[in-house]
Amino acid sequence: MIRLLFTILAGVFLGGIVHLVSVLALPRIATQDAYSRLAPITKLNAVTPLPQPDPNTAPLPFMDPAFAVAVCRYDLSGGPIKLAVPVSQAYTSVSFYTHNELAYYAINDRSAGRKVIELNLMTEAQHAALPEDEDVTSADRLIIDSPSTAGLIVMKALAAEPGLMAQAQASLAASSCMVQTEPLPPKH
pLDDT surpasses 60 at 141:
yes
Average pLDDT, integer, range 71-96: 91
What pLDDT is attached to residue 73?
92
What pLDDT is attached to residue 185?
55
| Residue-wise pLDDT tens digits, 100-132 | 888 999 999 888 777 888 999 999 888 888 877
Question: Has domain 34-179 been given CATH number 2.60.120?
Answer: yes
In three state form, how does the secondary structure of the chain look? CHHHHHHHHHHHHHHHHHHHHHHHHHHHHCCCCHHHHHHHHCCECCEEECCCCCCCCCCCCCCCCCEEEEEEEEEHHHCCEEEEEECCCCCEEEEEEECCCCEEEEEEHHHHCCCEEEEEEEEHHHHHCCCECCCCCCCCCCEEEECCCEEEEEEEEECCCHHHHHHHHHHHHCCEEEECCCCCCCEC
Every domain of the chain and the residues it spans:
1-30, 34-179
This prediction has a pTM of: 0.77
